[in-house]
Amino acid sequence: MLNSFQSPGAVAFTIFDMPVYYYGIILAVAIFAGVYTADFLYKKYYNKISYIFDFTPYMVILGILGARLYYCAVNYSYYFLHPLEIFNIRQGGLSIHGMIIVGIFALFVFSKIYKMSFLKLVDVFLCGTALAQSIGRWGNFFNSEAFGLPTDLPWKLYIPASHRTLEYINFEYFHPTFLYESILDFCIFIILLFCFRKKLQPGMIACLYLIMYSVVRIFVEHFRIDSVLNVAGLPVAQIVSIIMLFVGIIGLRQYNN
């Protein structure tokens, strides 16, 4: 039985004394998997002609930019004092909520430029996003971040003292919340794949993603202890997730009218 596990460290290897981080490698794999999935699903269920890979480089840049700016915004107290650190993403610091928000707006623009269905694009990209999230969360593992409350469960995660908050400095083992979300995101991905086979109306799968991921994030945030911005006692990630949840529900209801 698993007693505990821990990160081997953030650095995978070095090239000419330049460290290459696991976080970056995993992020690259996650992006490729997500985009490939989106392109495959679009061709399989919507149209054999796809221009997704044509605008993917721009989507990646905009998505990372949105994810970084959102992360810095909710950590404004730190980045206001250390503005140059905004450009240092090699050691993590990306928010999926920022990526989703900017990504959806970007998809709307590209749908007009390439004359593709916006709702169909959002469907396939959010399904790919679920897979990418499932993979990408392992970057948090190698960085020893995004962990939860102290626990003594068999699957507990060891966190070095240098990565613990002062409040929990004397605890060694914590909930591996990155793992919880990784598993649940993969379940969302499988469910959405099944929904594609059911040939739902364009846009419905996107709404289902917003609903399911929001529920997952609200659940996972209940365990996490690294929320840096709280509003009325709630982590901002939960507040944004609640908003996304209602957007998904309202959007889904339109198909039933």
The 10s digit of each residue's pLDDT in 28-68 is 999 999 999 999 999 999 988 899 999 999 999 999 899 88
Tell me whether residue 122 is in a domain. yes
Q: What is the DSSP string of 2-49?
A: ---EE---SEEEEETTEEEEHHHHHHHHHHHHHHHHHHHHHHHHT-S-
Tell me whether residue 2 is in a domain. no
Tell me whether residue 5 is in a domain. no
**CA 40 and chain centroid, separation:** 20
Distance CA 194, CA 137 (A): 23
119 pLDDT band, cuts 50/70/90, is very high
| pLDDT at residue number 169 | 93
- For residue range 128-169, list pLDDT tens digits in order: 999 999 999 999 999 998 899 999 999 999 999 999 988 899
2 pLDDT band, cuts 50/70/90, is low
The pTM for the full model equals: 0.90
Tell me whether residue 3 is in a domain. no
Tell me whether residue 6 is in a domain. no
In terms of residue numbers, what domain contains 235? Answer: 11-254
Tell me whether residue 1 is in a domain. no
Number of domains in the chain: 1
